[in-house]
Amino acid sequence: MKGLFFYRSDLQLSGLPDEISPEHERGWWTTSRDPLILERSPDSRYLRLNQLQWLGRYRGVVPKEDLLTKTQLEDYVRNFFEGEITPSGLRRRELTYAEVEIVNNDFNERAESQSAEFEVREISRGHFVHESWPDLARWAAEQNFDQLETSKKVNSKRPPA
């Protein structure tokens, strides 16, 4: 099965294991405090992906108001995670955005229209996590499975099955 590996956006990669193809799909991740958003083009826009859209590269027609600039996305990410510090809250808070390019070349002409829609194509994908997520991930890696199951049950807001 093909998959997408997410790498820290500020990390330079080297020395992949032999089992991983050098041509594998890559994404990037960053934290909420100082989101380092990769940008392949100054004309790029960013589109939030829901979980069903995570399965493949996005291509579709979207309304203008769903597309953010890099600056708008940085501000949104900082505000989205503000105040979330509990493991149960963090587990339910994720943001995945596709960096997209506008396929139709008349973006500037159509952007003035209130009801404009644009055909877009994903060129990269980023995942945003709370600034404390790396510490929580390290903590989880140090726990045994029984402790994690207990923690999930205690911190879960879902009704028991």
Pick from 39, 43, 10, 55: nearest CA to 120: 43
Question: Looking at the domain assignment, is residue 16 inside a domain?
Answer: no
Q: Point out which residues pair with 61 in neighbouring strands.
A: 119
- Distance in angstroms (rounded) separating the CA atoms of residues 56 and 78: 26
Tokens of 52: 């069903």
Per-residue pLDDT tens for 51-77?
888 888 899 999 999 999 999 999 998
Counting the structural domains of the chain, the total is 1
Question: Looking at the domain assignment, is residue 8 inside a domain?
Answer: no
Question: Looking at the domain assignment, is residue 10 inside a domain?
Answer: no
Question: Looking at the domain assignment, is residue 92 inside a domain?
Answer: yes
Question: Looking at the domain assignment, is residue 72 inside a domain?
Answer: yes
Question: Looking at the domain assignment, is residue 131 inside a domain?
Answer: yes
- Distance in angstroms (rounded) separating the CA atoms of residues 25 and 4: 5
Question: Looking at the domain assignment, is residue 69 inside a domain?
Answer: yes
Per-residue pLDDT tens for 70-104?
999 999 988 887 765 555 555 556 789 999 999 97
**Domain that includes residue 60, residue range:** 25-155
- Distance in angstroms (rounded) separating the CA atoms of residues 99 and 40: 8
Percentage of the chain beyond pLDDT 90 is 25
Distances (CA, A) of 139 to 33, 49, 65, 136, 147: 20, 28, 39, 5, 11
Assess contact for 89 and 141: CB atoms under 8 A.
no
Q: Point out which residues pair with 82 in neighbouring strands.
A: none
Averaged confidence pLDDT in the chain: 78
106 versus 79: the higher-pLDDT residue is 79
Backbone φ, ψ for residue 129 (5° rounding): -130, 160
